[in-house]
Amino acid sequence: MRGFLSIILVFLFILSGVSVVDTVASNDDIHSLISISTPAIIQHDYSTSIKLLDVNTYTITPGAPKLPVVTKTWIFPWGTKISNIRCNPLYMEQRRLLKPIETTPPLPSINNDRFIQPVNLDKGFFPKNWFDFTTGVGLDENGKHVLFLTLKLYPIRYNIGFNSIEYSTRFDITIDYQYSNYRFPSDSYDHFDLLIITPNCFKSTLIPLQEHKNNYGVPTLIKTTEGIYQEYQGRDEAEKIKYCIKDMIETYGIKYVLLVGDICKLPIRQTDAYPWSGYHGNGILSDLYYADIYDSDYKFCSWDANNNGVFGEVDYSGFPPKPEDNIDDVDLYPDVYIGRIPCSTSSELSIIVNKIITYEDVTFDQIWFQKIILVGGDTFPLSKFAPPFVYEGEITNQKVAQQLPGFEQIRLWTSKHNLNAVTFNYAVSKGAGFLSYAGHGFEHGWGTYRPNAILDHNLIFYFTPYLNFLHNQNRLPVVFFDACLTAKLDFNLTDLKDYFKWKTPILNLFLRASPSDLLPPFAWCFLKKEDGGGIAVIGATRPAYTYVDKYGVYAGAGYLDVHFFKGYHEGVKVGEMLVSAQNDYINYVGKDYFTLEEFILIGDPSLQVGGYP
């Protein structure tokens, strides 16, 4: 039996660089005295930057001072209620700056034709307060249902009218909380791990996968959408599916949910968390909707708290969104590991089912698995008025590589002059456990720039038809496309017209699509390729932004990319890697609804990465 007292305080200090002087735990409060190093004030030719020893998290408000943020996350057992948080500076000092303070730039979409624009700052201090906090209910690294409390401490604040900073090196933090004796409903059940939700037409194709999963100790249950729509209440089909997932978690202890079917066969939720409405779609398509079951009151998280039928509304008058900008009380922390096979036919599904079974059977201990292919270039070159000699894709690739120290790195970089469609296919065909691409993306491929490119249309491209020349057979990578649009599940002829204009009818001689047909986006084509391609692919359903400079990766797609690979360890399931990245993102960067909702897993969330022994 789990001892109640032994789990009274489970806390995790997420960031180094702070020393906890004193922590007293009791049943109802946490008391911490935090010491922070004195800020380093660095004078450049035209600006001043502020750094803290060992702190690499910064404010990300475009146009506002770039200031260090100290982030701490506490993890509490299911049922805990936070009643009050206090955080007070103990000593304050002020310093006048000689030169203007460095600011966060406008954050560009990866395809660089939209920006998250600078905000207008009011007089007074930035940030306004010494701290912010967020709470949410999700899964810890062991898959337990827990409450997260993240405190963001701003030990240095900028005084806008006076070009000065105010800072403190000591903070007194108190968190008051209560326990309920309420245990997670499914704690005493353990009947099924994987729930597959599918329209009836695909059910028989999934039986071999169910048997395979059962054989590997992942008991699997299949439910049909037709049955769910009869059995469950909800305002629409998507909500009925979400209530079914909640019920299955609480009845059988379901951990993984595999959605089967394209968005016509199994609906996806469209949310209003998109700051660039009308640009490659209105709203974001997100399967995270189905994974975020509980809010921080342990209630069903409808993603439509104001009940107006518009889901996941976010007020983007400022960036990043504040708690009050989260109009529909979206919790965002996933409570189950989710993925989708967006197949339109049984023959497509059958290819994936066979790939998953073979992958889990044969990959273990294969030498090819111990490799990662890193693909990138100069995402924002001179032609985009970006600073020279900063190759954002390659910088992101390097950060990814640092997360997988035991893996051989295959670097396909425009700065090494070794990236093109042929070298890409050659590297993938030789086999690798992982592939991370950081650069521009489209519904039908990817493209990136040579170093310091001055011509805007001169990209190195890779298009979907080139997949025909991939020959990696069973050597299948887990892929992250840190790029726009590769998983745009509502891709259709209208999107293609935006790129190919008058040539679209010629292209359509091959595609034979009608305007209402769904076309398969690149990430999906990568997964469904027979005798090769990938085994699980993360991609974005809309354009994405990334925030990378020569020192690091701070937010957006690149941050999720790096932390996805950080989530790898032997025996991990691919859905767990994504949730670990999502948790890191919320805990370190914040509730960036846009990025977190648009990146989805195309594949089986219960996939055993590296195969079973």
Kindly list the residues in this chain that would bind Ca ion in the complex (CB under 5 A).
137-138, 292, 294, 304, 306, 308, 310, 313, 328, 331, 333, 335, 378, 380, 386, 390
Q: How far is the CB of 147 from Ca ion (least distance, A)?
A: 10
Q: How far is the CB of 593 from Ca ion (least distance, A)?
A: 13
Structure tokens at 508: 């359509």
Q: How far is the CB of 282 from Ca ion (least distance, A)?
A: 15
Query: In this complex, which beta carbon is closest to Ca ion, that of residue 68 or of residue 556?
Result: 556
Query: In this complex, which beta carbon is closest to Ca ion, that of residue 289 or of residue 380?
Result: 380
Q: How far is the CB of 146 from Ca ion (least distance, A)?
A: 10
Q: How far is the CB of 470 from Ca ion (least distance, A)?
A: 29
225: left (phi over 0), alpha (psi -120 to 50) or beta: alpha
The Cα–Cα gap between 19 and 32 comes to 10
Cβ neighbour number for residue 251 with a 10 Å cutoff: 14
Check if the beta carbon of residue 257 is closer than 8 Å to that of residue 291: yes
Query: In this complex, which beta carbon is closest to Ca ion, that of residue 378 or of residue 576?
Result: 378
Torsion of CA 61, 64, 67, 69, to 10 degrees: -30
Burial of 440 (0-12, 13-18, 19+ CB in 10 A): buried
Helix (H) or strand (E) holding 450: none
The Cα–Cα gap between 496 and 480 comes to 23
Q: How far is the CB of 46 from Ca ion (least distance, A)?
A: 20
Torsion of CA 604, 605, 609, 613, to 10 degrees: -80
Query: In this complex, which beta carbon is closest to Ca ion, that of residue 380 or of residue 585?
Result: 380
DSSP letter at 534?
-
Query: In this complex, which beta carbon is closest to Ca ion, that of residue 165 or of residue 581?
Result: 581
Structure tokens at 346: 């049984």
3-state secondary structure of 466: helix
Q: How far is the CB of 392 from Ca ion (least distance, A)?
A: 5
Q: How far is the CB of 48 from Ca ion (least distance, A)?
A: 23
Question: What does each C-alpha distance from 271 to 162, 330, 542 come to in angstroms?
Answer: 41, 10, 12
Q: How far is the CB of 333 from Ca ion (least distance, A)?
A: 4
Query: In this complex, which beta carbon is closest to Ca ion, that of residue 66 or of residue 371?
Result: 66
Query: In this complex, which beta carbon is closest to Ca ion, that of residue 331 or of residue 443?
Result: 331
Query: In this complex, which beta carbon is closest to Ca ion, that of residue 220 or of residue 271?
Result: 271
Query: In this complex, which beta carbon is closest to Ca ion, that of residue 180 or of residue 473?
Result: 180
From the list 256, 252, 243, 245, the residue with the least C-alpha distance to 186 is 252
The Cα–Cα gap between 101 and 97 comes to 8
Structure tokens at 98: 């000689």
The Cα–Cα gap between 602 and 527 comes to 7
The Cα–Cα gap between 52 and 15 comes to 12
Check if the beta carbon of residue 342 is closer than 8 Å to that of residue 589: no
